[in-house]
Structure 1
Amino acid sequence: MSEDKNTGQLSAAELEDLVASTDTGGRNPTSRQVALLIAGVALAWSLFQVWIASPLPYMFGVGVFSSREARPIHLAFAMFLAYLVFPAFRTSPRRSVPLADWALAIGATACALYLFVFDTALIKSLLGSRLAERPNAPNTTDVVVSVFGILFLLEATRRSLGPPLMIVAMVFLGYTFLGPYAPGLLAWKGASFNAVAFHQWLSTEGVFGIALGVSTDLVFLFVLFGALLDKAGAGNYFIKVAFSLMGHFSGGPAKAAVVASGMTGLISGSSIANVVTTGTFTIPMMRRVGFSREKAGAVEVASSVNGQIMPPVMGAAAFLMVEYIGISYFEVVKHAFLPAIISYIALVYIVHLEALRLGMEGLPRANEPKPLKWAMISFGVTISVLLAIAGGVYYLFAAFQALGSTPNRLLAVAIMLGLAFSAMALLRSRTDEDTRAKVVSTGALVLGIATISAFGLFYFMDLLQATAGGATSWVVAALLLAAYVGLVRYCAAFPELELDDPNEPVVRLPDPGPTVKSGLHFLLPVLVLIWCLMVERLSPSLSAFWATALMIFILVTQRPLFAMFRGQELAGTAKLGWTELIDGLIAGARNMIGIGIATAAAGIIVGAVSQTGVGSVLAALVEFLSQGQILLILIFTAILSLILGMGLPTTANYIVVSSLLAPVIVALGQQNGLIVPLVAVHLFVFYFGIMADVTPPVGLASFAAAAVSGGDPIRTGFVAFFYSLRTALLPFLFIFNTDLLLIDVTPVEGAIVFVVATLAILIFTAGAQGFFIVRSRLWESAALILVAFTLFRPGFWMDMAAAPYTNVDPVTIEETLGAATPGTELRATVAAIDDVGDPVTLTMMIPVGDEPTGAERLEAFGLLVFEQDGKLVSDGASFDSRAQDAGFDFDQTFLSLEVPASQPPRELFYIPAILLFGAIYVIQRRRRTLLGEERAREREAAA
């Protein structure tokens, strides 16, 4: 290895090998035939996944695969490639594939395809029965295939993901057999060999369960979309844009690293690949402006790992949550959006504080802007313009509803667009130099135009569907083609972004205008993906297909189009486009090997939990350890996620911990008077699973960053963990304040929550970093953290000052419901029996409907009650009613019933918090002035 003995920094080739060995397989055979076979299988896998995600099989009636048929094929591809590209040991050959690996690859593929082949009509005609026709009654062949299949999967897991996930899966498998010999609370009756084989391999409860189904149906297309986007040049575009926009600020390269990693996280599900891809450029630049090796690596780690919490992809967790929680993908993205955004804002602020502390300067731009004060003035004007646009758009489009016909509405939209474009043209006609004010004002107008255009697009699509009917899809395709060609023609007027050498010094930053404009066509497939997901509400699979289809078209055509519009030679450009497309399809498949194996191996654990019932045992154990305290159970869950995440990939960690502990947290919260939405619990688990990529001593992302920076990996991990404290704080906050997840909030309330939460996370960051305007004293840091907590959870203090609920007699439930304000909720505490027959106390909410009487409101809720010995008793809940979803059941005795009290607004506690914050600001500003005067006197004395 060409490792620098002083720094431990790796070369570019060794960094590529690091990513390959972690994500895509470190074996690179010299045999052309073997290399072509591996590439061909990866290409076939990508084409298969695109085919089953597309509407084409249903249009032609050929090649339609059910989920039960597609999952074995998906796993067969993953295991075959895993054995060929991941060496068995460190000393195994990297330039050839041993015969043993060929045998293992073929055997693993055969065991996976057994479920597909032996479930066909041909097999039934030959053997008399299909696999699906003998549930829970496997024959000898079924059992043998299942045993070998699980063994092959465990070995593939060890090779591609390391020993930890394999060991955890083996422990759970062993528990299914050795249950009678387990100690005390963990003991269970055990399962037969045939039962375990069927449950784990032949049914959809184990390996081929929900997790592998999500990998097959959803995750692959999103990973492939990201690989194609990166192959087209979007990754380099995002990095260049981030540097051109933020590189001139204090500590600019680090801020650019955060933004670039966030944008790359939109298309990448791997924190390690993100670290190496963006860190290769950002870490050396951070070093040049004054960051130490460890701090430069830690900034890159923190920002890259956070890429997995950025919608719309979020690694694979977003799609798993859809299946596990039973809510739409749109809802998952909505809930995850705000925490991800404020977490990135906080990380930028961390970098800013570090830059202030060390007195760093940014890199110079090609066109140096005018003083910052003009940008600040323009920023104030911009905010006012945006608020005016938002208010105007809201009320104008509300008025559009009264305009009646769609043509009238479109005319109004056209007028507004004309005015907006006129204003922008007026701004562009200015002849003064390129200033921050001009950039910010232009951005404001572009945002306003985009907002108005979005509304216009809604009405245009309504009109198009009403007039074009069945031809709507073709019209939309033609419009997309025109938009794409128009964007390419516009982008071709600007120089192509070249890949920079990270080892060459950066003297000046690129001009942001040409940099941003040179790759605008990359945003088109992202917009198509978001439009299909958020507006058309298509399935994630179909949305990813249309975005991927457009991305394939772009890869094939962008180079010839750019050459044509730039007047360059066309020869060879089409071939280069096809080559990049094939490389992207192969890269997408190789990126999926680890995810496919991880979801299948995690299925073993999930299958063991469902077969043994160990989840309820762990719930009882955790409840005992936490003594029923919800905060302790959250801390235990966080620790477990961190420990498991030290060896498990994020996806597998999320599957395991959410399967074991998510229901426990909800149940314990219910017993302690805290109603915790299931999505909040799943996001809590996911966040701490991501944190494990940072946490020493294993944190793989930290090791990757240290390999780039040449710093110490353990110290890099500790600094990155310290930078990531704001990510660790957020899950605890949104468990107790679900407003942060935008649950049951209006758009106006959501905007207020965003502003307050952003301010709170910045104040918390300043307190945790020990630096605000100047270095903070200990009491100042504590006060800042207290202010942040108050802004995040003002209800905590208000509930102490004034009780949020008033007790009433449960027997008067009908009268109480009738008198309550519609839209509020009553809180009921009941005595119940849990699944194992032990008494528990549950807290549940009863929403107040708008029916005329209390009896009708109770009936609409679906709750049946009767009075017995002066007590109110539940007589059950109607099937599929809100009462049943809340947890009401037969023979539950009401212990209390509480109605919302007339509590003062909890936001009143913002006032003392802001006053305290203002006092700290004044104190530190005065101290900074005194320090400045003292340093000036010292300089004068020295002179």
Structure 2
Amino acid sequence: MSEQNSGSGLSQEELDDLVASSDTGGRNPSNKAILKAMAIIAFLWALFQVWIASPIPYEVGFGVFSSREARSIHLGLALILCFMAYPAFKRSPRDHIPVSDWILLIAGAFCAFYLFVADLAIVGEIFGDRLSDRPNNPNTFDIVVFCVGIFCLFEATRRSLGPPLAILGILFLLYTYFGPYFPGLLQWKGASFGAMAYHQWLSQSGVFGIALGVSTDLVFLFVLFGALLDKAGAGSYFIKVAFSLMGHLRGGPAKAAVVASGMTGLISGSSIANVVTTGTFTIPMMKRVGFNNEKAGAVEVASSVNGQIMPPVMGAAAFLMVEYVNIPYFDVVKHAFLPAIISYIALVYIVHLEAMKQDMQALPRATVAKPLKLQLLSFLMSAAMFVAIGGGVAWLSEAYLALQSAPSLMIAAAVALAAIIVLCKAISASASEGTKAAVFSTFTMVVGYCVVGGVFLMYLLDTLEQGLDGAGMGVLLPWVVGALLILVYVFLVRICATYPDLEPDDPNSEIVSLPLPKPTIMSGLHFLLPVLLLIWMLMVERKSPSLSAFWAVALMMFILVTQRSLFAFFRGETGGQIGQGVRDLVDGMISGARNMIGIGIATAAAGVIVGAVSQTGIGSALADLVELLSQGQLILILIWTAVLSLILGMGLPTTANYIVVSSLLAPVVVALGQQNGLVVPLIAVHLFVFYFGIMADVTPPVGLASFAAAAVSGGDPIKTGFVAFFYSMRTALLPFLFIFNTDLLLIDVGPVEAVLVFIVATAAMLIFTAGFQGYFFARSRIYESVLLILVAFSLFRPGFWMDMIVEPTTSVPPGSIVEQFERAEPGTELRLLVDGLDSVGEPLSFTAIVEVPEGATGEERIANFGLELIIDGNDVTIDNVTFDSPAEAQGVFDWDQKIVDVMVASDQPPKELIWIPAIVVLILVALLQSRRQKTLAAA
């Protein structure tokens, strides 16, 4: 890597400082003792987090921390490192820590540790009572701790994240105390200063609430896992693999940037770090093949920011969703998987269209072309493999159980996979390195080996578990599995050692030699093992995210210490490498801890807002305000939510933005959806908020990722931001689509249907991209772009047009409700229009969606739904609602509510029939553009 990036005017040192100032702190003390102290504190923080996540404390009965104690220590260490690493102002000294910062450091740390210290037994002996002995009864010293602590927290927030989140937190505190003086809808009775202090600082409802708990229990380990992977060399490996697979295509460096950023997003939660890490290599190469400064930077921004929507980490939001939506982590990943994949595929297509529009040429690769049929066969096998895996990844464990119960089916599946691998090996052997056939076959072979190995491993572990349990030695299972993992790791390193180490090319040099796929992929196979272990533990074993991340981190720690020595051993090199491996491990743990400073501070500061919402009830007031602004229309509330997320995201990090907006508006969207007769799952709303939160990293004028990319490319940051936003329109479209079409989130979708959803949704997104980019087979005319966007919409939401042709429901008199329940098939839907009052006595009209339960008669089915009705002709009054019944879950109450309309499903044709005219229009546009392209080529 050259010291100076071409065209940017920034050295590598300056780029590193750009990342440090936003992610890890820009201060670099000249005093070596201070530097060593910072490193020791960061290392101890990482060690503490690994310790509390491990099962060891529970096994030995020592060092077990409650969630309250762990959060206190977590925030205390984050504040210490923040005041040591982040200077107060741009002009503040960076070569030493001023006295004022030492004072803030000590005060902030004491106030954070207070929750831990104040519950120790010795405190009770000295002061007569402990904090836990006087709930909601703070004394004077407690209030002083709150005042000092909240000041230090907001100052740390301002330094590490900028002023907006700190200002927002202060405003919510003012609202909590001065509630009676606010006008209209926002007015409330207010809270005493003591009550506010206890709620915000001394309880687990404010600063030390769920958000900080997620940061403590989950996020730290995943960030540490990514830091250790990067320190081991996986970041460089992912970039080189992406270039080996896609660098030789038109616009190849840009396509490789998208793929590399997607893979890096698996281990990184920072958009800016992702931009600088991959961008210093990809942006100069994109410029070489024809992208201008702004477009090269925009491609990197769009792909890097999208790394945060890629499961399993998702920039920490996945773990917050587990707590806020109250669903298993497995389900969060399953729901988020398809939109993320589709978004990345669409971005690769955007790059391809840009390359076609500008007639860009691919980077050269010295290969001998092979017959087209060879390339086609390899591509089809790869496509078949990935469609099968893409449709079945979320149901892997269920699929395995099904195969277990049908041995013949398991044998057939194994034979089919083995046949694909054998064919790929034959193609790879007959195709020259670097051809498309070799690329497809090599990649498919690796995936095939992973799948076959995974199924075999599942079978082996199941057999081992049964055997050890039968012999009364079940306690040995973790040790046996650990030994197997080490053997697999050593075997993979032995394979990798036969290939040369990856040496990064200088993207600014005159000639860049694109890496060949097979040696590139094979040189770092051992990096995939901890990633696969993490996914295995989360998705197959269904272990908790915390325990899964612990075992993945433990394996990464072992890899970091041993990989250098193992490579040297298998290559016959002399000299021990254990010492360097230990230094790599320590550096990786320190990097992981420093990467967590901003996230720890952000979740604590966002907890102030969440605490204020729970204490003041401002959520209901905002709901009324938003409903007034949107006039009860769901699409308007979604637009308002998107705009608010974008505005807040200009000053808040993604995690804090998600916490704030989801706390305020997610329940409102669900309620308005119900009033409009639309079931909006809570996970869909949370993903909607999250998607627009990450868009703020792109959106000018404050998109920090765009500024980082412009610093690398030498382009204008505002222009880069606008182009990146234009490229990211597909990401902005997806949230609206999965609100109205929850199939995209794989909600109540089977494996076969999931494959169809994936194919259709991907095709629709690519068509939308072509329409929005103004290029399909040739440059599009305006009417062609409009037609393409309409075709895409029709593929995404065929029900919209079908509902206009044939009404989906038919209204029947409410007096016939018993008859309609009896006539309907169990599991089908009825809709009840309910008028009356809500839980606080306000007028309410909403649609209750009934999934008809089992029952012999209509009366029994109504009772099973949870309703007792008084029917007088067409006057149907709700007399009682069963506690914890489906009716109560739909928001039905038993006071002054009446069923004024019953809607039953009509004989509507399948909505998929709309696809036929849409495909016809698509073919016509394609023919028009192909003919025009041929005419231009002939001229």
2:755 corresponds, among 746, 751, 756, to: 751
2:258 corresponds to 1:253: no
Give distance in 1, aligned partners of 2:81 and 2:632. 47
Give distance in 2, aligned partners of 1:799 and 1:695. 35
Cα offsets for 1:34-67 (capped at 9, x unmatched): 0000000000000000000000000000010111
Deviation at 1:73, TM superposition (A): 0.6
2:631 corresponds to 1:627: yes
Deviation at 1:389, TM superposition (A): 11
The amino acid that maps onto 1:807 is: S
Cα offsets for 1:99-124 (capped at 9, x unmatched): 11111101100000011110122212
Correspondence for 2:813: 809
Deviation at 1:434, TM superposition (A): 6.1
Do the aligned residues in 2 keep the contact of 1:826 with 1:900 (CA within 8 Å)? yes
Give distance in 2, aligned partners of 1:428 and 1:668. 56
2:529 corresponds to 1:543: no
The amino acid that maps onto 2:666 is: A
Correspondence for 1:561: 566
2:531 corresponds to 1:504: no
Cα offsets for 1:555-596 (capped at 9, x unmatched): 01101000100111233x111111110000000000000000
Deviation at 1:788, TM superposition (A): 0.4
2:152 corresponds to 1:152: yes
Correspondence for 1:939: none
Give distance in 2, aligned partners of 1:298 and 1:665. 32
Cα offsets for 1:364-414 (capped at 9, x unmatched): 2254544766423542465568889999999998575255xxxx9988887
2:843 corresponds to 1:844: no
Do the aligned residues in 2 keep the contact of 1:369 with 1:434 (CA within 8 Å)? no
Matches within 5 A, 1:345-356: 345-356=345-356
2:207 corresponds to 1:207: yes
Matches within 5 A, 1:486-497: 486-497=491-502
Give distance in 1, aligned partners of 2:431 and 2:173. 73
The amino acid that maps onto 2:527 is: F
Give distance in 2, aligned partners of 1:460 and 1:261. 35
Q: Which moved more, 1:520-529 or 1:178-187?
A: 178-187
Do the aligned residues in 1 keep the contact of 2:42 with 2:594 (CA within 8 Å)? yes
Do the aligned residues in 1 keep the contact of 2:439 with 2:517 (CA within 8 Å)? no
1:584 corresponds, among 585, 588, 596, to: 588
Do the aligned residues in 1 keep the contact of 2:308 with 2:315 (CA within 8 Å)? yes
Give distance in 1, aligned partners of 2:780 and 2:409. 56
* SS in structure 2 of the partner of residue 360 of structure 1: coil
The amino acid that maps onto 2:31 is: S
Do the aligned residues in 2 keep the contact of 1:420 with 1:449 (CA within 8 Å)? no
Do the aligned residues in 1 keep the contact of 2:834 with 2:846 (CA within 8 Å)? yes
Do the aligned residues in 2 keep the contact of 1:186 with 1:617 (CA within 8 Å)? yes
Cα offsets for 1:392-443 (capped at 9, x unmatched): 999998575255xxxx998888777776666566556648776422442454
Do the aligned residues in 1 keep the contact of 2:403 with 2:409 (CA within 8 Å)? no
Give distance in 2, aligned partners of 1:858 and 1:570. 78
Do the aligned residues in 2 keep the contact of 1:366 with 1:510 (CA within 8 Å)? no
The amino acid that maps onto 1:336 is: A
Deviation at 1:7, TM superposition (A): 5.1
Correspondence for 1:881: 885
Correspondence for 2:223: 223
Cα offsets for 1:440-488 (capped at 9, x unmatched): 2454455445444433433332212110231221111111111000000
Deviation at 1:499, TM superposition (A): 3.4
Residues 926 and 42 from structure 1, CA distance in 2 versus in 1: closer, same or farther, beyond 3 angstroms? same
Give distance in 2, aligned partners of 1:605 and 1:518. 48
Do the aligned residues in 2 keep the contact of 1:212 with 1:596 (CA within 8 Å)? yes
2:526 corresponds to 1:521: yes
Correspondence for 1:938: none
Give distance in 1, aligned partners of 2:133 and 2:366. 71
Deviation at 1:668, TM superposition (A): 1.1
Residues 686 and 811 from structure 1, CA distance in 2 versus in 1: closer, same or farther, beyond 3 angstroms? same
Give distance in 2, aligned partners of 1:663 and 1:449. 45
Matches within 5 A, 1:16-415: 16-367=16-367, 369-370=369-370, 374-380=374-380, 383=383, 401-403=405-407
Residues 9 and 382 from structure 1, CA distance in 2 versus in 1: closer, same or farther, beyond 3 angstroms? same
* SS in structure 1 of the partner of residue 178 of structure 2: helix
Deviation at 1:817, TM superposition (A): 2.5
* SS in structure 2 of the partner of residue 890 of structure 1: coil
Correspondence for 2:928: 923
Cα offsets for 1:330-356 (capped at 9, x unmatched): 111111111000000000000000000
Q: Which moved more, 1:182-191 or 1:316-325?
A: 182-191
2:619 corresponds to 1:610: no
Structure 2 unaligned regions, length at least 5: none
Give distance in 1, aligned partners of 2:496 and 2:554. 21
Residues 297 and 411 from structure 1, CA distance in 2 versus in 1: closer, same or farther, beyond 3 angstroms? closer
1:827 corresponds, among 821, 825, 831, to: 831
Q: Which moved more, 1:285-294 or 1:461-470?
A: 461-470
* SS in structure 2 of the partner of residue 894 of structure 1: strand
The amino acid that maps onto 2:573 is: Q
Give distance in 1, aligned partners of 2:79 and 2:932. 63
Cα offsets for 1:737-776 (capped at 9, x unmatched): 1111111111111110100000000000011111111111
Residues 294 and 396 from structure 1, CA distance in 2 versus in 1: closer, same or farther, beyond 3 angstroms? closer
Do the aligned residues in 2 keep the contact of 1:826 with 1:898 (CA within 8 Å)? yes
Residues 352 and 580 from structure 1, CA distance in 2 versus in 1: closer, same or farther, beyond 3 angstroms? same
Deviation at 1:894, TM superposition (A): 1.1
Deviation at 1:9, TM superposition (A): 3.1
* SS in structure 2 of the partner of residue 172 of structure 1: helix
Q: Percent identity?
A: 64
2:904 corresponds to 1:899: yes
Cα offsets for 1:662-696 (capped at 9, x unmatched): 11111111111121111111111000000000000
The amino acid that maps onto 1:841 is: S
Do the aligned residues in 2 keep the contact of 1:299 with 1:720 (CA within 8 Å)? yes
Q: Which moved more, 1:554-563 or 1:187-196?
A: 187-196
Deviation at 1:884, TM superposition (A): 2.4
Cα offsets for 1:77-110 (capped at 9, x unmatched): 1111100000000011111111111111011000
Deviation at 1:608, TM superposition (A): 1.1
Cα offsets for 1:763-793 (capped at 9, x unmatched): 0001111111111111111111000000000
Give distance in 2, aligned partners of 1:412 and 1:929. 47
Do the aligned residues in 1 keep the contact of 2:79 with 2:108 (CA within 8 Å)? yes
The amino acid that maps onto 1:716 is: T
Do the aligned residues in 2 keep the contact of 1:410 with 1:456 (CA within 8 Å)? no
2:652 corresponds to 1:648: yes
Residues 391 and 613 from structure 1, CA distance in 2 versus in 1: closer, same or farther, beyond 3 angstroms? closer
Cα offsets for 1:534-565 (capped at 9, x unmatched): 11111100110010100111001101000100
Correspondence for 1:940: none
TM-score calculated relative to the size of structure 1: 0.95
Residues 683 and 816 from structure 1, CA distance in 2 versus in 1: closer, same or farther, beyond 3 angstroms? same
Give distance in 1, aligned partners of 2:432 and 2:401. 36
What is the Cα-based RMSD across aligned positions, in Å?
Answer: 2.5
Give distance in 1, aligned partners of 2:261 and 2:69. 37
Cα offsets for 1:500-523 (capped at 9, x unmatched): 334334432011110000001000
1:911 corresponds, among 913, 916, 926, to: 916
The amino acid that maps onto 1:478 is: A
* SS in structure 2 of the partner of residue 845 of structure 1: strand
Correspondence for 1:688: 692
Do the aligned residues in 2 keep the contact of 1:670 with 1:676 (CA within 8 Å)? yes
Give distance in 1, aligned partners of 2:202 and 2:183. 30
Residues 143 and 382 from structure 1, CA distance in 2 versus in 1: closer, same or farther, beyond 3 angstroms? closer
TM-score calculated relative to the size of structure 2: 0.95
2:836 corresponds to 1:854: no
Residues 204 and 389 from structure 1, CA distance in 2 versus in 1: closer, same or farther, beyond 3 angstroms? closer
The amino acid that maps onto 1:85 is: A
* SS in structure 2 of the partner of residue 829 of structure 1: strand
The amino acid that maps onto 1:636 is: W
* SS in structure 2 of the partner of residue 589 of structure 1: helix
Cα offsets for 1:176-209 (capped at 9, x unmatched): 1222221222222211111111111111111011
